Structure 1
Amino acid sequence: MLAGAVAAETHRLPAVEIIGSSSDTFSLSGSAHVLTEQDLERKEYTDVHRMLRDVPGVYVREEDGFGLRPNIGIRGTGTSRSDRVSMMEDGILMAPSPYAAPAAYYFPSAGRFSGIEVLKGPDTLRYGPFTVGGAINFLSTPIPDGRAGRIQLEAGEDRHRRGHFWYGGTEGQWGFLLETHQQASDGFKDIDRSNRGTGYDKSDYVAKLRWTAAADAAVQQAFELKLSHSSEVSDEAYLGLTDRDFRANPNRRYGLSERDQMDNDHDGIVLRHDLMIGPSSRLETAIYHNKFNRNWYKVASAGGQGIGDLIDDANNGNGGAQAILDGRQDVADVRVKNNNREYTAEGIQTELSHGFDWAGVRHDMVAGVRFHRDEVDRYQPVDTFDQVNGALVPTGVILPTGGDNRVENADAWSAWLVDKLYLGDVIVTGSLRYEDVETEAKRYADPGRASVSSRVDNQVDEVMAGLGATWLVSDQWSLLAGVHQGFAPPGASSVAGTDPEKSLNYEVGARYWGPGFSADMVAFYSDYENTVNNCSLAAPCPNGSTSGSQSFGESRVRGLELGINSQLWRGRALEAPVRLAYTYTDGEISEDADDGSVMSGDVLPYLPENQLSLTLGLERPARWGVYLTTVYVDEMCINNACDRPGSSRFDRTDDVLVVDLAASYYLNSDVEVYAKVDNLFDDQEIVARTPDGARPNAPRTAYMGVRVSF
């Protein structure tokens, strides 16, 4: 938040927003969208994928049907584990190890968010390290100004249950908040020959304590301490289905995956300090520490063959592979890996904002610096089994070495400078960002870590610049244009000399903001000088690697975003709101990779050409409301070679059309009851083939709930 906008209330800790209200997007030099608490409450989603469908230019790849493992991309950055987007909660990087291992296996319960901000364009340089596509900031429940609280209870099919409680207040110079969000389900899939569930049980806890100086104090400052803890046990697997089995029953799971389960815990602490320096300067500092432990116990191979290869062979008519998946054929050496990892991320960031006039021009300037350190420690033993008469019989343990026994870490210095100049009706924003990242990875030759089998390190540093302009044509119309350099660091297992991902990104568009109607249309073009993939088991690189990073040259992404938020009709008692988010995208490789794994003309995976979300509502404000949301997503290629001659139908997903319905009614001003049906017409399609087989979206599911405010 810039100094000119915050000087009025000096005794309040500033919000942790990166945009502000929806009206603040009107004068920004880049594409920006805000989902408010009211927007989120209308639909009562707990799946962040469903929430983000309302934002153009954002792509998601479903995996489990619940959004437990979000795969989010912006403007062609790739969606795998959201590892190319700067993801934040309250302005603090939230990935377990944003530099060393940015794949977002941790994600807070989306049902407790009070808002979501999505920022693209030149202003993204303020929020790194990933500046190619954009930044997403998830807002937690704020400390209320007075004593207040809320209780929300929800139940649904598949023994879905959800509880959300918070209570807090501000008295004098002190404020506090206590919050918990509990959510569980038995799941919608059935495992062959097993009565185990396929759902999850997830709990979040948040506590905040704030102290602010008195309004008449000589030094205007505030402190806020935020503590958070979450835990999750989810019976999720990498193993999907063959196409034939999917068409017969998309909610089936093979018995090989019966023992698969994710178990994780996350602890976070953030201490913020806000200091006013004179009437137009503010210094904001945050110290943070996050720790995340996880063990995803899941089947990896059978009979020496990876589970993804089994799916491929069965899809291509191999009866033996199909029999192993069905449990009709015994097989030795079934390996179930403890994907056991410990992540640590910590750092300190400080930002000075200052408003001033110079040479007759108003400036709002922000300068910031951050030191960040993170680490991921993998110690991943493998349990072995034989499949006998469709059951897994334990046979032994393989202690970890090499890639299953490694430590990766990163140290990063970041600095940024943003200056917003007000030149009459034109606002010009110049941005600079510097990233210096050092990474190291060690693999151990023995389970006891007595000797190192290999060690790699890498260092990258980059200066990025951006320039954006907004012309306030009138009180309702503005035009915007911008260009900025994009950057994404390679992962910690990258060998020396691996370059970061770099791009040059352009956008141009127009906005309209008026009573009851707002709209924006933005065209974008990203020219990648170097495209980098972080390789993982969930999303192997085109060369087959499942660790480290792969650079494969140049690519280009272009597209058009359209967002509309309006009232179709407004009467004395009734209103009909409408929200539209549409994105057209075209992306392809523009130069052959040196190793031949990708070629010029190859497509970018999991990038739909067209996607649309349309919400139509009818409501009597503060009394009742009904909302119908229709989402369409084009079929997507799952790999770069999808459009080459000889590719098969197994290289693509299905196109998907899903309709959700939600309705609410206020019994009085403090009590609201609601009902919702996700996937109203029960249309399940192949929404992904990664990892390892065809995967469905969630089936039709009904819920009912009540929310009480006090």
Structure 2
Amino acid sequence: MLQTISFAKDDKPAIKGTILSVNQEPVAFANVMVEGTYKGAFTEEDGSFIIYDLPDGEYTVIISALGYKRITQKVTIKDGVAQNLNIAFEEEVTEIPQITVFANRDRMFTKVPGSAGYVSREELTKIKPISGNEALRRVAGVHVVDEEGLGMRVNIGIRGLDPDRSRSVLVMEDGVPVALAPYGEPEMYYSPAIDRMSGIEVLKGSGQILYGPQTIGGVINYLTANPPQEEEIKVRMQGGQGGFFSGLLSYGNTFGNSGIQVDYLRKQADEVGPTEFQINDFNVKFKQELTERSTLGLKLGVYNEVSNSTYIGLTQSMYDMGGMDFLRIAPDDQLDVKRFSGSATHEYKINDRVKLKTLAYAYTTTRNWRRQDFASTPPANPTGVVYGDTNIPGGAIYMRNSTGNRNRQFEVVGVEPRLEVQHDLFGFSNELQTGVRYLYEKAYEQRVNGTKFNVSSGNLVEDEVRTGNALSAYVQNKFNLSERFMVSAGVRVENFNYERDIFRRSFPGIGVRDTILVNNSSLTEVIPGLGFTYKVFDKTTVFGGVHRGFAPPRTKDAITSLGDALDLEAEKSWNYELGFRADVTSGVYAEITGFYMNFSNQVIPVSESSGGLGTGLVNGGATVHQGLEAALAVDFSKIFSWKKTSLIYDINASYVEATYSEDRFIDAGEDAPVNISGNFTPYAPQVFLSSALSVETLSGFGLRLTGTYVGDQFTDELNTVTPSANGQIGELPAYFTLDATASYFVEKWNTAFNVSVKNLTDERYISTRRPQGIRVGLPRFITAGFEIKF
């Protein structure tokens, strides 16, 4: 709720009025600002507003709202008489039809049946993120684990769910899923670059049942910019230590009924932490208004990344010794990610109350990864390179003269028509959304073992194809039972058919052989959801809901490498939440949400990326996730009616208890197996928060301080405290980081300059023990840059 700001009411009205649409419907939460001051207001639900305490003079009033054209109006105040403004908004003609998590005009969450968050363009500008992880931490309940420090492999956990490769979260860009294969392999080896985003939507409540396949943790939707009303050329550059550079060149314009937005991003670094990378990211969006009722949107994207990403981390002795935090243990490891994507959206207004939106998309992702082999004991094929303490069993890393090349290619095609209807069933105002979604996915996977430490060719030891066909249908209706009470009820049906074809693999005691192993399976699930909002007072809303959590098993986990169908269960839960959001008083906003997630079966990752042996996922049994999320924003400039300075403080805090809730016994090498019932699930800190203090002045100066705290967390099911010698198991101590950004806007140049410092106090901390060893958080990191608009 970072975008919510309340304005102070002084003694004397100066400007008042009503904001309506061209259809004479009230526009709630439009932003009315007096240029050159910090005076302003949000419109009430009836479209009315009042701005207080302005001396006589001429003013320019700027009125804006999501989905509408911006309006500039001249106003003269004379002899203290309040001026009346009655404005009719026109809809934004350059809005590209696309699937979003929230309605464009409801990002104040007045009718969202559950907890939600929205990171705005303004917030992204203030924090100057070098990775999307920084932005996502600004939403309560979202825990993000840094792997290489730049967010290229994003690991997102919501409400205590395991963050490994963001498997329990549905991640989209402009309504299109971005995972390798959304059903069969939902890992986030590709992550949308935060540098070109205009906002992020996060939905955690019952409303997420419209999306899929993941409806357990939440939905994250990255938003890109739409074509502007008038020609705009933007150049943004940011550079810093270790050869870090991020450069974005954008062009947008509207020509009659056509609009275009083109973005090219170049991002690179020679040595940020242990990482070297180059990214080229090109995107174009095109909008064409075909008729008064029909609009078409097209989007194309090309992404190419080359990085020295590796799975190998530090052993515990290497970390304790110091001085090796960012040692490149496997300098020849290389990950190549290539992605080509295209989507088309069409919106047809059947009449003023009925819309048909159709989304079609296709993308391919190639993920080839050369990784040097290593061992924790002296191997038969050593290179002679050894790291760590050889006197401690498991405390050293022996580099081998061979590689394991994991080459994968994914194809995804989907189509989704969605009907949106406003109707008056049972005499109430209703909003209906219903649609179907078909998704086809195919994964080609090979493993090539190289006989040298730095080669990408060699012996083909694994070769297979995995195919999936998914069909889902959903319906959700919002019943506006009164002006204050809204109930949302919905259901989605998921059907997923999947097949695994294995052409070559290694058989125990036999070796590598060509084969024909084929098996398939399917699952069907009904996923209901119910939510409500009730406006207790004009600016206080209570909300709540319950929905079924669902995630299908990965294809290669449900069907073994021997072609046996395990009928691995889907990940299922019942998720409940209850909360309220309120403008407590002028300039103070608060939100509190309690949640309870009861898993009948949570799938626990033991894959290589989660520090395991590469054997996939297992049924982890019953778990319970419960806790509180809280957000508070205080705008001191509105409380004290400051005219030339804005001072805002906010905090988003989460308390989570994620535990195994039934008896489950693990062999821990003791005389008897250990019952882990009551233990915390891995990588689920009980406390984590993000807090920020922002200062802006009319002279153009701005300062932002952002603090992040992550509490203690365990890394295995046994809740082991003492670190293992290889660094992969052991408690992660709590840590706190502080970021600072100073900016200055030069109006005559239309240019903003900034200096940003990440980890200002140079805190040394372990960010993760995954994939295979300790990763140290980035030390103090300084960048500087500018953004100019023509």
TM-score, scaled to structure 1: 0.89
> 1:342 Cα deviation (Å)?
0.5
1:503 pairs with 2:573: yes
1:558 pairs with 2:642: no
> 1:577 Cα deviation (Å)?
1.2
Give the Cα separation in 1 of the matches to 2:649 and 2:723: 43
Q: Deviations over 1:162-221 (max 9, x none)?
A: 11111111121111111111111112346xxxxxxx321111100111110344xxxx10
> 1:316 Cα deviation (Å)?
9.2
**Worse overlay, 547-556 or 316-325:** 316-325
Distance 1:255 1:480, change over 3 A: closer
- Contact 2:215/2:551 (<8 A) preserved: yes
> 1:559 Cα deviation (Å)?
0.9
Equivalent residue for 2:485? 426
Give the Cα separation in 2 of the matches to 1:580 and 1:244: 37
> 1:256 Cα deviation (Å)?
4.7
1:480 to 512, 533, 543: 543
> 1:46 Cα deviation (Å)?
2.5
- Contact 2:332/2:454 (<8 A) preserved: no
Distance 1:335 1:450, change over 3 A: closer
Q: How does 1:296-315 map to 2 (within 5 A)?
A: 296-302=369-375
**Worse overlay, 665-674 or 620-629:** 620-629
Distance 1:578 1:16, change over 3 A: farther
Q: Deviations over 1:129-178 (max 9, x none)?
A: 11111100000121112211211111111111111111111121111111
Contiguous gaps of at least 5 residues in structure 1: 191-197, 308-312, 326-330, 386-391
- Contact 1:378/1:406 (<8 A) preserved: yes
- Contact 2:666/2:676 (<8 A) preserved: no
Q: Deviations over 1:620-644 (max 9, x none)?
A: 1571210111111012111111159
- Contact 1:250/1:695 (<8 A) preserved: no
Higher RCO, 1 or 2 (CA under 8 Å, sep at least 6)?
A: 1
2:777 to 684, 694, 697: 697
Equivalent residue for 2:319? 246
> 1:67 Cα deviation (Å)?
1.0
Equivalent residue for 1:574? 645
Give the Cα separation in 2 of the matches to 1:10 and 1:705: 31
Contiguous gaps of at least 5 residues in structure 2: 1-22, 28-66, 69-89, 381-385, 507-511, 560-564, 669-674
AA matched with 1:200: F
Q: Deviations over 1:604-663 (max 9, x none)?
A: 111001001110111115712101111110121111111599999942112111000001
Equivalent residue for 2:290? 213
> 1:439 Cα deviation (Å)?
1.5
Equivalent residue for 2:555? 492
SS at the partner of 1:410?
A: strand
Q: How does 1:652-667 map to 2 (within 5 A)?
A: 652-667=731-746
Equivalent residue for 1:68? 152
Q: Deviations over 1:374-417 (max 9, x none)?
A: 122111212234xxxxxx588x965233xx32222211111111
SS at the partner of 2:555?
A: coil
Equivalent residue for 1:636? 713
1:411 pairs with 2:411: no
Distance 1:393 1:107, change over 3 A: closer
1:468 pairs with 2:531: yes
- Contact 1:421/1:427 (<8 A) preserved: yes
2:766 to 686, 694, 697: 686
SS at the partner of 2:185?
A: coil
Give the Cα separation in 1 of the matches to 2:646 and 2:703: 11
Distance 1:254 1:40, change over 3 A: closer
Equivalent residue for 1:389? none
Q: Deviations over 1:346-394 (max 9, x none)?
A: 1101100000112221110000110001122111212234xxxxxx588
1:517 to 556, 563, 588: 588
1:185 pairs with 2:269: yes
Equivalent residue for 2:498? 439
Equivalent residue for 1:335? 402
Q: How does 1:112-511 map to 2 (within 5 A)?
A: 112-189=196-273, 198-215=275-292, 220-249=293-322, 251-252=324-325, 256-302=329-375, 318-319=391-392, 322=395, 324-325=397-398, 333-385=400-452, 398-401=458-461, 404-424=462-482, 425-445=484-504, 451-452=514-515, 454-493=517-556, 494-495=558-559, 496=565, 497-511=567-581
SS at the partner of 1:246?
A: helix
- Contact 1:481/1:507 (<8 A) preserved: yes
Distance 1:247 1:462, change over 3 A: same
> 1:547 Cα deviation (Å)?
4.2
Alignment RMSD: 2.8
- Contact 2:635/2:649 (<8 A) preserved: yes
- Contact 1:559/1:583 (<8 A) preserved: yes
> 1:596 Cα deviation (Å)?
6.6
AA matched with 1:614: S
SS at the partner of 1:27?
A: coil
> 1:452 Cα deviation (Å)?
3.0
Give the Cα separation in 1 of the matches to 2:173 and 2:395: 44
> 1:286 Cα deviation (Å)?
1.1
- Contact 2:360/2:414 (<8 A) preserved: yes
AA matched with 1:147: E
AA matched with 2:694: G
AA matched with 1:155: G
- Contact 1:624/1:666 (<8 A) preserved: yes
AA matched with 2:751: V
Equivalent residue for 1:58? 142
- Contact 2:374/2:397 (<8 A) preserved: no
> 1:487 Cα deviation (Å)?
0.2
> 1:693 Cα deviation (Å)?
0.9
Give the Cα separation in 1 of the matches to 2:105 and 2:324: 41
Identity %: 27
SS at the partner of 2:609?
A: coil
SS at the partner of 1:54?
A: coil
- Contact 2:403/2:454 (<8 A) preserved: no
Equivalent residue for 1:607? 684
> 1:254 Cα deviation (Å)?
5.5
SS at the partner of 2:272?
A: coil
Report how many aligned residue pairs link the two structures.
673
Q: Deviations over 1:235-263 (max 9, x none)?
A: 12111112232233365455651211111
Distance 1:589 1:93, change over 3 A: same
AA matched with 2:185: A
Give the Cα separation in 2 of the matches to 1:640 and 1:306: 30
Distance 1:305 1:49, change over 3 A: farther
SS at the partner of 2:271?
A: coil
Equivalent residue for 1:193? none
SS at the partner of 1:166?
A: strand
Distance 1:232 1:547, change over 3 A: same
> 1:548 Cα deviation (Å)?
4.0
AA matched with 1:624: F
